[in-house]
Amino acid sequence: DWTSDMFIDITVAELKERIGDDKVVMGLSGGVDSSVAATLIHRAIGENLTCVFVDNGLLRKNEYEEVLESYKTLGLNVIGVDSKQRFYDALAGISDPETKRKAIGKAFIEVFDDEAHKIDGVKWLGQGTIYPDVIESVSVKGPSATIKSHHNVGGLPDFMKLSVVEPLNTLFKDEVREVGRALEIPEKIIGRHPFPGPGLAIRILGDITEEKVKTLQEVDYIFIQGLKNHGLYDQVWQAGAILLPIQSVGVMGDERTYERVVALRAVGSVDGMTADWIHLPYDFLGKMSNEIINRVKGVNRVVYDISSKPPATIEWE
Ligand code: XMP
C-alpha cells in the first residue's frame, strides 16, 4: 500500500545517497510540482539546493511577489530574477503560438544559465517532472520539449550538462498533492491550478505587449478571486481568461465603444489530457462579466468558452 510518508522517506534517502555533498540547481515555476520536488530535495540536501524563480512578465497579477514569499516561508534558498523586459523584447511582434513558445523557452534557458553559472560547482539539475509529463506529449508543448529543440540546434547551455534529478517522475498529480500535504506545504501552493510555462503569452492571441499583459492580468485576477470567493476554485481543475485579438462595438453612457473581448475558461480534468468545460452558475458568470467590464479599462465584452477537450484544447494556443 502506497503512502505519502513512505514515499517521502524512501525518496529522501535515495536523494541523499545519489546526490551526496553535490550542489543542485532548480528552476521553480510557482506550481505544485516544482514546489513539491524542491521541498523533497531540500529535505535531503538542505542548503546545497539553490532554486531560481524567474519573473518572465507573463505571470498572474501579484504572483511573483506572493510565490517568492511562500518559497521563503518553506525555507528554500530562492533567487528571484526579474527578467520581464528580456521576455517582452524576445516576444515583440511574434503572433504564432509555437514561435512564442520557442522564444520564451530560449529566453528562459538564457536567464537560467546565467544564474546557474553563479553557483560554484553545481552538478545536478532538479526538475518537477511528473509521470504524465514522461509518458505523454503535453511535453511537445512543455518546457522539456523546448529544451530538446534547443538541444538540436547545438551549443548546449552549461546547465544542460548537469545530471538531472526528478523525484516525482513516477507520480500522478493527485499523488504529488498528497505528498505535498504530508510535507506540510501550504494549501495555497498545493491547491493551485496548473498554469502553463509560457504563462499569459499563450492566453493573449496575437502579439504580446506589456499593456495587453496588464489588461489580461486584471481580468484573470477578477475571475480567479471570484471563483475563490464563491467556493468554486477547488471544484475546477484549471481556469483563466483569454484576451482575444478582436474588438467589438459596445455602448457606455451615450458613447459608442470599440474595445477588446475576453473569454473566460474553466475546465474539469484529471490529468489535462481530456477536459470538460465546467457549468459555472449563470449568476456567477453574470457577476464576473459585470465586474470585468466595469473595472477593466479597454474591455467591453466577455464570453464563456463551452468547448471540451478533445476536440478543443484547454489553452487557446
Ligand atoms: P492543452 O492546451 O494542450 O493543455 O489542452 C494541457 C495542459 O498543459 C498546459 N500547457 C502547457 N504547459 N507549457 C506548459 O508548461 C506549455 O507550453 C503548455 N501548453 C499547455 C495547459 O495549461 C494545460 O494544463
Domains and CATH numbers, the chain: 4-190 (3.40.50.620), 209-304 (3.30.300.10)
Q: Which of 303, 66, 283, 285 is nearest to 205 (CA)?
A: 303
Q: CA-CA distance, 279 to 169, in Å (whole number)?
A: 33
Task: Name 247's bridge partners.
Answer: 260
Q: Are 199 and 213 in contact (CB under 8 A)?
A: no
Q: Match 468554486 to its residue by C-alpha cell.
A: 232
State the DSSP code for 308. -
* Residue 35 annotated as lining a ligand binding site: yes
| pLDDT value for 146 | 44
| pLDDT value for 259 | 98
Q: CA-CA distance, 302 to 308, in Å (whole number)?
A: 19
Distance between Cα 186 and ligand 1 center (Å)? 24
Contact 192 CB / ligand 1 (< 6 Å): no
| pLDDT value for 155 | 60
* Residue 95 annotated as lining a ligand binding site: no
| pLDDT value for 88 | 98
Residue identifier of the C-alpha nearest atom 21 of ligand 1: 196
State the DSSP code for 235. G
Distance between Cα 141 and ligand 1 center (Å)? 7
Cell numbers standing for residue 8: 517521502
| pLDDT value for 137 | 47
The ipTM assigned to this model is 0.99
The per-residue pLDDT for range 7-39, each reduced to its tens digit, is 999 999 999 999 999 999 999 999 999 999 999
| pLDDT value for 138 | 47
- Evaluate the omega torsion of the peptide bond into residue 311 and state whether it is cis, within 30 degrees of 0: yes
Contact 238 CB / ligand 1 (< 6 Å): yes
Q: Are 172 and 271 in contact (CB under 8 A)?
A: yes
Q: Residue 25 contacts by C-beta under 8 Å, 6 or more apart in sequence?
A: 49, 50, 51, 52, 115, 116, 119, 122, 124, 125, 126, 159, 162
Contact 128 CB / ligand 1 (< 6 Å): no
Cell numbers standing for residue 147: 529544451
Q: Are 201 and 100 in contact (CB under 8 A)?
A: yes
Per-residue pLDDT of the chain (317 residues; tens, 9 = 90+): 789 999 999 999 999 999 999 999 999 999 999 999 999 999 999 999 999 999 999 999 999 999 999 999 999 999 999 999 999 999 999 999 999 999 999 999 999 999 999 999 999 999 999 998 887 644 444 444 444 343 444 566 777 789 999 999 999 999 999 999 999 999 999 999 999 999 999 999 999 999 999 999 999 999 999 999 999 999 999 999 999 999 999 998 899 999 999 999 999 999 899 999 999 999 999 999 999 999 999 999 999 999 999 999 999 99
User: What is the pTM assigned to this prediction?
Assistant: 0.90
Task: Name 268's bridge partners.
Answer: 276
